[in-house]
Amino acid sequence: MHAMGRFSALLASVLILAGCRTGGLPFGMTKYGEAASLYTLRDPDGGLVLEVTDFGGRLVRCWAPDRWGRLADVALGWNTVAEYERYGFSAGALVGRYANRIADGRFSIDGREFRLAVNEAKPPRRSNIHGGPRGWSTKVWKVVERSTSRIVFELVSPDGDMGFPGTVKARVTYSVPGGGRWVVRYEAVTDRPTVVNLTNHSYWNLAGEASGTVLGQRLAINADRYTQTDERRIPVTDAPVDGTVFDFRRPRAIGSMADRMAALPELRATGGWYDHNFVLNGAGGEMKPACELSDPVSGRVLEIWTTEPCLQVYTAQDMTTGLPAKEKGRTLCPCAGVALETQHYPDSPNHPEFPTTVLRPGETFRSETVYRFGAR
């Protein structure tokens, strides 16, 4: 094994042993005075190691092997709670109660309007995004079960939390059962009609964190249609990807249409890059392929499968140059990673033509997404 590969494997083993002995490593205090911990999960087949924290259920590190067996951390993030609170971008976070945007922070259920906290207010944008300023990604989740390859988080979101109706009890399970897979299972129940849309907001760079942009990495998306947005990044209507810069039905470099994208007026609101919803082929609620990301240099491949109907692709163009990375002395840049968020439609509560996100008493919200890492 290459020297860097041996070092990476040794580091991962040390972290695993430390996490198992202590039941979680200290990860810092939130600005609200809550203590957070860091946990390590290991694929029993070897080759995949995750570090996750109860602070927002975040994926902090993901060590995956390349075609030569060398490990690299392929997830963007930071080393402490304070850094996540300072730098943001929902990096690695478990996002809820409603992932993505709700226009003007308003929606109605059964004829009753609810007003939410508006935490995206950059004109012309005005939305509740990712559940509000104290969404679930800012909370310390309770760890109710844990082993070397599995961890279960729970959270109770009270009635009126960020303006959302109903007390919601959520349970999210992360497991690495083998075969290079990270499996995420979501469950939620409510005591009043509400809306729920959950996702993980990790940013991926298969060449390794802080290795440059992902624009040369190849992406394929199992979607014939995407959702057009207005200047507020709010959905307008679905449209075919055929003949557009949104056509990823065959693998191509993420930045392969950069010149064409820069000239499109419809992409001015997203900085000339992607922050769009793709409508996945296949039935909602059924497990299906969502996308495949690959790095031609390292050979790493990430396949994502999901029961969700949609996938949000965000190329992190809003990240600032010089943003610190986890490794000391390394920095991030615009398009340093790509977020591939399995989800329901953005602003679905205000679009009756979209699949519903309403959850009612007696029902259970269930969703599953599988991240499968490999190399070729």
Q: Write the DSSP assignment of 133-199 as a string of letters.
A: TT-GGGSB-EEEEEETTEEEEEEEE-TTGGG--S-EEEEEEEEEEETTEEEEEEEEEESS-EE-B-E
3-state secondary structure of 57: coil
* CA 234 to chain CA centroid, nearest Å: 19
The C-alpha angle with vertex 285 and arms to 280 and 288, in degrees rounded to 5, equals: 45
Tell me the sheet residues that pair with 108: 113
Element (H, E) at 253: strand 252-253
Question: Which amino acid, one-letter code, is at 269?
Answer: A
Please tell me which residue in 209, 303, 341, 351 is annotated as part of the active site.
341
φ, ψ dihedrals at 156, nearest 5° = -110, 120
Task: Tell me how many degrees the CA angle 281-286-288 measures, rounded to the nearest 5.
Answer: 50
The DSSP bridge partners found for residue 178 are 181
Alpha carbon 115 to its chain centroid, in Å, reads 25
Q: Between β-strands 71-73 and 58-65, what pairing exists: parallel, antiparallel or unpaired?
A: antiparallel
Q: Are 155 and 54 in contact (CB under 8 A)?
A: no
Rounded-to-integer distance, Cα 311 and Cα 223, Å: 9
308 is catalytic: no
Amino acid at 329: G
Instruction: Give CA–CA dist 375/165, Å, rounded.
Output: 45
Is residue 341 flagged as an active site residue? yes
Amino acid, single-letter form, for residue 44:
P
The answer to whether 215 touches 253, Cβ cutoff 8 Å, is yes
Catalytic residue among 51, 130, 201, 303: 201
CB atoms within 10 A of CB 265: 7
Residues labelled as active-site residues: 201, 341
